[in-house]
Structure 1
Amino acid sequence: MFGEPVGVGPWPGEWPAGAHYDPDLLADGDRRNVVDAYRYWRRDAVVADLDRRRHGFHVAIENFQHDHNIGTVVRTANAFTARAVHIVGRKRWNRRGAMVTDRYQHIHHHPTVESFVETARLLGLAVVGVDNTPGSVPVESASLPRDCVLLFGQEGPGLTDEARAGADLLVSIAQFGSTRSINAGVAAGIVMHAWIREHADLTQAW
């Protein structure tokens, strides 16, 4: 029914044992947007358990124009347990779209594309740029590296020239309509899920 509170109320009966439980949540209820398996858990305990389950891909998005899609990208990265999210360019970004999932996600900032690519190399990650430009391989037929960082550009202009030059692989998303491009947050979800379909152990999904 519309207007009913989300989540669960105070724990009924005797409290469960375990250091991962948050006494305040047990007493007052857990209204967070988390899966049932993490109800009443402390936030740091949730992050620790996610760290144990995270996948081998990272996500990066350029932030030179204060793109409002970054929050959506972070939220989707959390849903697919990306190992980390990298913001390239401006450090500040609109967190509203993340729906507080940024509290459970490792987020790193890189002031320039060059510094981001250098970090990717040090981590042993292939940089997979996502852009519908000549020379891109359709993601529908591409094989994505297991250890990689999926790099997305801004809404409209797409990846910068520096980002395309630093990518080890460029992939595109097949489109069939009249628009030149699709929403950056949607594109990120499509490509992350392509990685999931190819590499993830689906028995570990909730």
Structure 2
Amino acid sequence: MEVLYGVHPVEEAIRSGARALESVIVSRERRDERLEKLIALCRASGVSVTMESREQMTRLAKTDQHQGVLAVVKERAFLSVEDLLKRSKGAEQEDRKRFYLACDGIEDPHNLGALLRTADAIGVDGVILPERRSAPITGTVAKTSAGASEHIRIARVTNLVRALEVMKKNNVWVIGLDERGTPDYMDFDFKTDCVLVLGREGAGLHDLVKKTCDHLLRIPMAGMVSSLNVSVAGAVVMYEAVRQRRQAPVVKAPAAPKKLKGLGS
């Protein structure tokens, strides 16, 4: 069993239905409309609700940032790369170009949570995480992602290079982000099936992962600092991909003006 904490993560865990909730625990000391709505959602979803003291909840969550709400959930079942390559249910268009995110050894749960939040916001088709040298999907990740981690399709792989090779065999371009890469991310055409690979905090991509990439892109930096935080860099590039993929609205030619009839016509 795992513990999620915070109002948003618990709400999204209930709404997503991705895994079973054993129970939701709320603080005896908290009483407000937002909590009442959450309790009503639990009852409507058949999830039991119990009350505990704030001190006991802090011991269970191992943090005091739980906002008076905890959920005891079953461990997450991760997907395979092959699962990610299949179209998710409810995909708007079968011919829509797919976009994936792969994280090469991101160990800070706050960075991972922020990336998952952005990935969910842009409608990513799936995220690939390595089993080792990577932050696990914990309550901290769920809290930082505002519950987005409960909605995203995630594959956990033993070998990231091998997973990327599988992507390439399925006609998905592997695009790495590297401060020494070329071209600039704004000059790359994202209107294709691709997976964006982000490297470790500070160290960047592992050498084998870098060699596996079809392209290495950079974010130009005009200041004295040579790079951005990985979650910020990932958000910048992901939204550039969305901007490029968004179809321009069709502008209809104005109708020819009608000849007005009246006096003198």
Question: Do the structures match in fold with TM over 0.5?
Answer: yes
For the structure 1 residues 175 and 195, does the alpha-carbon distance in structure 2 shift closer, same or farther, using more than 3 Å as the test? Answer: same
How many angstroms apart in 2 are the aligned matches of 1:98 and 1:55?
A: 25
Shift of 1:175: 1.0
**Matched residues in 1 for 2:128 and 2:203: separation?**
19
Deviations 1:141-179 (A, max 9, x none): 222242000000011011111111000111111111111
Q: How does 1:82-93 map to 2 (within 5 A)?
A: 82-90=124-132, 92-93=135-136
4+ runs deviating over 6 angstroms: none
SS in structure 2 at match of 1:140: helix
- Alignment-derived partner of residue 78 in structure 1: 120
The structure with the larger Rg is: 2
- Structure 2 counterparts to residues 147-186 of structure 1, below 5 A: 147-186=193-232
Q: Distance in 2 between matches of 1:71 and 1:55?
A: 25
Q: Deviations over 1:175-194 (max 9, x none)?
A: 11111211000011011011
What letter corresponds to residue 72 of structure 1 in structure 2? A
User: Measured at CA, do residues 4 and 129 of structure 1 come closer, stay the same or move farther in structure 2, by a change above 3 Å?
Assistant: farther
Distance across 1 between alignment mates of 2:194 and 2:35: 35
Q: Give the equivalent residue in structure 1 for 2:82.
A: none
Measured against aligned partners, the alpha-carbon deviations of 1:86-118 in whole angstroms (never above 9, x if no partner) come to: 113526525422222111110001222322222
What TM-score comes out, normalization by structure 1 length? 0.70
Give the letter aligned to residue 245 of structure 2.
Answer: H
Gaps of 5+ in 2: 1-30, 46-86, 250-265
Q: Which residue of 1 aligns with 2:257?
A: none
Structure 1 residues 5 and 82, CA gap change in structure 2 (3 angstroms)? farther
Matches of 2:245 and 2:232, distance apart in 1 = 20
Which of 107, 110, 125 aligns to 1:66? It is 107
Matches within 5 A, 1:46-61: 51-53=90-92, 56-61=98-103
Structure 1 residue corresponding to 2:170, chosen from 123, 128, 140? 123
Distance in structure 1 (CA, Å) of the matches to 2:228 and 2:99: 22
Aligned length: 171
- When residues 202 and 98 of structure 1 are mapped into structure 2, their CA distance, relative to the original with a 3 A threshold, is farther
The answer as to whether partners of 2:129 and 2:160 remain within 8 angstroms in 1 is no
User: Residue 43 of structure 1 aligns with which residue?
Assistant: none
* TM-score normalised by structure 2 residue count: 0.55
Find out whether 1:104 has 2:151 as its counterpart.
yes
Query: What is residue 234 of structure 2 aligned with on the other side?
Result: 188
